Amino acid sequence: MRHPLGLLLLAVAVAMIWPASAGAEGEAYVIAGGGRVRPADIASAPATELRLAVESVIAAHDGGLLIAGGDVVLRMSVLGRASRVAGGLPHGDRGEGGPALTAHLRSAGAVTEAADGTLFVATDRTVRRIAPDGTIMTVAGGGPLYPPPLGEPLPALYSKLAPTALALGPDGSLWIADDEEDSGLLTLSADGLLRAVAPVGPSDDRCVGRAGSLAPSAGGLLVGFAYAVCRVDAAGVRTVFAGDFRPAELVLGRIAERPVALPGGDVALLRTGSSTTPGTILRVTGSPPHAVRVPLQADGVNLPLSFSAYELGVAADGGLLASDGKELVYLAPERPGLAALRFEPGSRRSLALRSTLPGHVRLRLDGPQTAHLTATLGGGVGHPRLPGRLRPGLYRIVGDLRTPSGARTTARTALVLGGTLTDRAAARVLGLPRLPLARAAGRTRDENPVIAIDRCRRWSRTRVDCRSMEHDQGEPRPYCLSLQAVQLSTDGTVTSRPYDCPARGAFLLRPHFTHAAVPVDLRAIAERWRG
């Protein structure tokens, strides 16, 4: 029998050298946002419980994050808790010279932090400074004058600004990306004077004009202009950094923006998406530089399928941060420093969990019945077994991860458990109410039609077809819109596939499908469930 002290020492040694089991680059962990709690209602809370409007995110000097957006600036600690730094109150005055917590911020955007802990925040028309003691002052903007384009000094409080990004330059001055007129780049010195930064020497035409983003880089700054990302060195010389990469689909155009410098000299860029095209994250590496895509998997389980990044940042550990404005996603590096939890495809008898840091997870399942599970993620991976008598169906699952260091975070989704797709679960994943036709007709108001599922048919344990009907007040009878075949795969994912209504809306075992199967957004279902 081994000595207990020896086993204890072995366990401590393993814990010291055990690498955190983060997934491959591109695995998305939600670390903030997606909750229902307003920042104004709390002094401190787990970041995943808050309702956010993310406009800017940067790494804080203490290893956590600074998040700005809406009317608030938040500080998220390495333990996963978020607290208000400034704003967040729906009403109030500017709070000039008073506590930042009671000041009203209008459209808080970019944020940056000085070495002494001073914060600079870009609002609608001003730049505000939050001192280490928590007082807030306006340092630029709010005036009637545009900064002179050739660099003549102007008292910053007399200037007219539309600040879009902030960064501290190599000399300690505050750089401001301005979207007002064509001033482009401005600097604010310690004496309170604002100067436009004119190009030095021969400059590419793509490196002038309005600037949309700034990021500190080795020996200078990266600036996102309309058609290129340019590097501005300490002498003010501008050179195109990004704008001519291959393959052709990675050539940066007008939508190139949001550069962030990564450890090791690489740079990440974000091509913002549209209503139909998700944003693309590019990692620029090597010499000569080349761009590669950073996969961001919106799988419908951990991230809604509609997720499209339009804000980019980098954590203190080098992990990329992306946000759609509502949630903050962490792409964990090889050795992550932030706690995060996600759900993985599992078997029919167990759940599969992955975390960036080892810890203990408590799970709550709500659906056809309620259940509680626990799991220890020793190496960042766990497979808690489901209760033997768990009724099959669609469940909303909330996981609460706590690490030995005291960090806490949550993750939530919806999954079909038990290996059987029930009629009720199939109807719910389609996102339509399930009503008998008589009740649907009775709910018709004015001229608004009622669309509902009136019947589902199960062909097997893993396939259920549901018929959606529309009842319009002007029509004599309801009519069939479509039939949807809902399919449960062996790994727990769910897909749906429509087909046309045959005569009398009959269900068909082998129909002629009109579209390819698409994954069901289980994460969105979990959010609707909460409402």
Secondary structure letter of residue 147 according to DSSP: P
Q: Which residue has the higher pLDDT, 485 or 504?
A: 485
Q: Which residue has the higher pLDDT, 195 or 288?
A: 195
**Do the beta carbons of residue 463 and residue 496 sit within 8 Å?**
no
Nearest residue to 471 (alpha-carbon basis) of 454, 457, 483: 454
Q: Which residue has the higher pLDDT, 424 or 248?
A: 424
Rounded to 5 degrees, what are φ and ψ at 386?
-80, 150
Please state the rounded mean pLDDT for residues 228-245: 77
Please state the rounded mean pLDDT for residues 488-501: 89
Average pLDDT for the chain:
83
Residues in CB range of 333: below 8 A, 6 or more apart:
22, 25, 317, 318, 319
What's the CA gap between 160 and 122, in Å, rounded?
Answer: 13
Q: How confident is the model at residue 447 (pLDDT cuts 50, 70, 90)?
A: low
CA 13 from centroid of its chain's CA atoms: 36
Digit-coded pLDDT (tens) for 426-436: 998 998 887 76
User: Does residue 23 surpass a pLDDT of 70?
Assistant: no
**Do the beta carbons of residue 351 and residue 383 sit within 8 Å?**
yes
| Secondary structure (3-state) at 16 | helix
**Do the beta carbons of residue 129 and residue 111 sit within 8 Å?**
no
Please state the rounded mean pLDDT for residues 149-173: 87
Q: Which helix (H) or strand (E) holds 428?
A: helix 423-429
Digit-coded pLDDT (tens) for 129-150: 999 999 999 999 999 988 887 7
**Do the beta carbons of residue 290 and residue 273 sit within 8 Å?**
no
Residue carrying the six token digits 């964990």: 332
pLDDT at 193: 93
Q: How confident is the model at residue 473 (pLDDT cuts 50, 70, 90)?
A: low
Digit-coded pLDDT (tens) for 367-418: 999 999 999 998 788 888 888 888 999 999 999 999 999 999 999 999 998 8
pLDDT at 360: 94
Q: How confident is the model at residue 10 (pLDDT cuts 50, 70, 90)?
A: very low
pLDDT at 240: 83
Please state the rounded mean pLDDT for residues 26-39: 87
- Lowest-pLDDT range of 285-299, 311-325, 483-497: 285-299
Please state the rounded mean pLDDT for residues 316-322: 93
Q: What is the pTM of this model?
A: 0.86
Please state the rounded mean pLDDT for residues 241-259: 52
What's the CA gap between 172 and 190, in Å, rounded?
Answer: 9
What's the CA gap between 104 and 93, in Å, rounded?
Answer: 6
CA 222 to each of CA 110, 205, 216, 289: distance values in angstroms, whole numbers, following the listed order: 15, 16, 6, 15
Nearest residue to 56 (alpha-carbon basis) of 38, 73, 79: 73
Q: Which residue has the higher pLDDT, 348 or 77?
A: 77
Residue 177 pairs in a beta bridge with 165, 185
Please state the rounded mean pLDDT for residues 176-184: 76
pLDDT at 379: 77
Residues in CB range of 90: below 8 A, 6 or more apart:
40, 71
pLDDT at 361: 95
CA 124 to each of CA 73, 108, 254: distance values in angstroms, whole numbers, following the listed order: 14, 7, 23
User: Does residue 251 surpass a pLDDT of 80?
Assistant: no
User: Does residue 531 surpass a pLDDT of 90?
Assistant: no
User: Does residue 358 surpass a pLDDT of 70?
Assistant: yes
What's the CA gap between 439 and 154, in Å, rounded?
Answer: 69
What's the CA gap between 469 and 174, in Å, rounded?
Answer: 60
Please state the rounded mean pLDDT for residues 337-353: 84
User: Does residue 474 surpass a pLDDT of 70?
Assistant: no
pLDDT at 243: 60
pLDDT at 19: 38
User: Does residue 487 surpass a pLDDT of 50?
Assistant: yes
User: Does residue 249 surpass a pLDDT of 60?
Assistant: no
The number of residues making up the chain comes to: 531
pLDDT at 139: 95
Q: How confident is the model at residue 205 (pLDDT cuts 50, 70, 90)?
A: confident
Secondary structure letter of residue 423 according to DSSP: H
**Do the beta carbons of residue 499 and residue 468 sit within 8 Å?**
no
Residues in CB range of 495: below 8 A, 6 or more apart:
486, 487, 489, 517, 518, 519, 520
The DSSP code sequence of 433-461 is -B--HHHHHHT-BTTB-EEEEEEEEE-SS
Q: Which residue has the higher pLDDT, 160 or 280?
A: 160
Q: How confident is the model at residue 439 (pLDDT cuts 50, 70, 90)?
A: low
pLDDT at 437: 55
Digit-coded pLDDT (tens) for 263-310: 888 888 887 666 556 678 888 887 777 788 888 878 889 999 888 888
Q: How confident is the model at residue 56 (pLDDT cuts 50, 70, 90)?
A: very high
Q: Which residue has the higher pLDDT, 196 or 121?
A: 121
Q: Which helix (H) or strand (E) holds 4?
A: helix 4-17
